């Protein structure tokens, strides 16, 4: 399809209802489908775990946005990741993961798949020699890239890492949750699979948990294996969840533009503040990944982190003193959230190479009035440094 991104977001998979003309396809709240005689399926639908029209709408929409041949939606981001790992790995296989990936991804691979004989190496993806060393393992099957990373907003070179993965006989998987396809298309850069926590920017309104896998052209066989996981393991997204996600995606491009603009303004307002040691935002020219992000992304997104000068105690006070930014896990919704990663999102990686420094605070900058957001973080910082 040659339509633009926003057109695809609003129309891909969104045929109007042929019976009534309803512009929005109906939500099919049904567990099963009547057969016209044994095996006489209407439109291929048989049972809600194997297929549901509302889920298919979402899957078609996701595939169109990422430039994939198909997409599969799941009950959560981790369920989507689990399906990828089960489909791609066997005992004895080796995975290379970035060393500041989402804590739950590390937990899933190390603690669940580790028990089934999968080996894991975490590596700094911005260090080419370290990546080559990690990939010299004989059984590397999968390279798992998350960029921008969580919570330190490191930018990894998707095209370079995909090439290194392919040379090593591995597939490249990109977790595109932070950027969303509105800002970054990993498949166009060589990724074999894209995974999402659709809970975040794709859903966009903090009202639904979900996940997805998008399959690149050429990976039909792997796509079949992941589809079989979806059907045979059954962590599917329900029709109402799929509907909410589809509805959110229609405004993705608009939202990402505003998230990026607001985060840039907040980041710039924090630079040079004596209570802040460092601001981690790829939109700042001083960010080590700025140039790469400018090439690889079409905007810098709504996530930023700060290192608070006063250490752990001040960081906690900052995170607990905002008024509009609400203290909560998660990210990517229209409302601004603030979090203390070392005790919240990244508590599961304490004591591992992925542990987050205790003076880091993460902000998910929403789409409220930007002046209110800037004023809010500045008043909270004043309290934290009092």
Residues recognised as catalytic: 49, 102, 175, 200
Nearer to ligand PLP, 321 or 364 (CB): 364
Nearer to ligand PLP, 241 or 376 (CB): 241
Query: Is the peptide bond between 148 and the residue preceding it cis, with omega within 30 degrees of 0?
Result: yes
Min CB(178)–ligand PLP separation in Å:
6
How distant is the alpha carbon of residue 95 from its chain centre? 19
Q: 339 - beta bridge partners?
A: 362
CA-wise closest residue to 63 among 53, 54, 73: 73
Nearer to ligand PLP, 61 or 76 (CB): 76
Q: Which is it for the CA torsion 210, 215, 220, 225, positive or negative? A: negative
Min CB(330)–ligand PLP separation in Å:
7
Q: Which residues bind ligand PLP (CB under 6 A)?
A: 76-78, 102, 104-105, 146, 150, 175, 177-178, 197, 199-200, 209, 211
Query: What's the CA gap between 75 and 301, in Å, rounded?
Result: 25
Nearer to ligand PLP, 70 or 200 (CB): 200
Nearer to ligand PLP, 58 or 317 (CB): 58
Q: Are 230 and 50 in contact (CB under 8 A)?
A: no
Phi-psi region of 123 (alpha: psi -120 to 50; beta: other; left: phi over 0): beta
Q: Are 374 and 143 in contact (CB under 8 A)?
A: no
DSSP structural state of residue 337 = E
What is the DSSP pairing of strand 94-98 with strand 337-339? unpaired
Measure Cα distances from 353 to 119, 205, 312, 333 in Å: 15, 32, 19, 29
Min CB(217)–ligand PLP separation in Å:
24
Min CB(75)–ligand PLP separation in Å:
8
Q: Are 236 and 230 in contact (CB under 8 A)?
A: yes
Min CB(103)–ligand PLP separation in Å:
9
Work out the number of other CB atoms within 10 angstroms of the CB of residue 80. Answer: 31
- By beta carbon distance, the residue nearest ligand PLP is 77
Nearer to ligand PLP, 211 or 248 (CB): 211
Rg (the chain; Cα; Å): 21
Min CB(321)–ligand PLP separation in Å:
24
């Amino acid at each position: 399809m040659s339509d633009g991104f926003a057109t695809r977001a609003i129309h891909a998979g969104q045929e109007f209802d042929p019976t009534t003309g309803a512009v929005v396809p109906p939500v099919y709240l049904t567990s099963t489908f009547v057969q016209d005689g044994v095996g006489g399926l209407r439109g291929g639908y048989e049972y809600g775990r194997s297929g549901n029209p509302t889920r298919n709408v979402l899957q078609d929409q996701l595939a169109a946005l990422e430039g994939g041949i198909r997409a599969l939606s799941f009950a959560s981001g981790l369920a989507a990741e689990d399906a990828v790992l089960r489909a791609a790995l066997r005992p004895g296989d080796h995975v290379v993961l970035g060393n500041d990936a989402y804590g739950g991804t590390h937990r899933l691979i190390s603690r669940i798949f580790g028990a089934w004989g999968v080996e894991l190496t975490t590596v700094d993806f911005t260090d080419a020699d370290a990546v080559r060393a990690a990939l010299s393992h004989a059984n590397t099957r999968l390279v798992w890239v998350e960029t921008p990373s969580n919570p330190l907003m490191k930018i990894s070179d998707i095209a370079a890492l995909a090439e290194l993965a392919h040379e090593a006989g591995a597939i490249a998987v990109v977790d595109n949750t932070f950027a969303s396809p509105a800002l970054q298309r990993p498949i166009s850069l060589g990724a074999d699979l894209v995974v999402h926590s659709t809970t975040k920017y794709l859903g966009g309104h903090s009202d639904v948990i979900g996940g997805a896998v998008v399959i690149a052209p050429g990976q039909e066989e792997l796509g079949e294996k992941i589809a079989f996981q979806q059907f045979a393991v059954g962590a599917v997204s329900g029709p109402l969840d799929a509907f909410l996600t589809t509805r959110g995606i229609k405004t993705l491009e608009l939202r990402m533009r505003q998230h990026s603009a607001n985060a840039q303004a907040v980041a710039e307002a924090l630079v040079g503040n004596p209570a802040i040691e460092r601001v981690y935002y790829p939109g700042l020219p001083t960010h080590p990944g700025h140039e790469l992000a400018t090439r690889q992304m079409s905007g810098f997104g709504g996530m930023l982190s700060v290192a608070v000068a006063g250490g752990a105690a001040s960081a906690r006070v900052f995170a607990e003193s905002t008024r509009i930014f609400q203290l909560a896990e998660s990210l990517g919704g229209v409302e601004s959230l603030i979090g203390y990663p070392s005790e919240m999102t990244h508590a599961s990686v304490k004591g591992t190479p992925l542990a987050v420094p205790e003076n880091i605070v993460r902000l998910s900058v929403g789409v409220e009035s930007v002046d209110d957001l800037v004023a809010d973080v500045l008043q909270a910082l004043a309290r934290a440094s009092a």
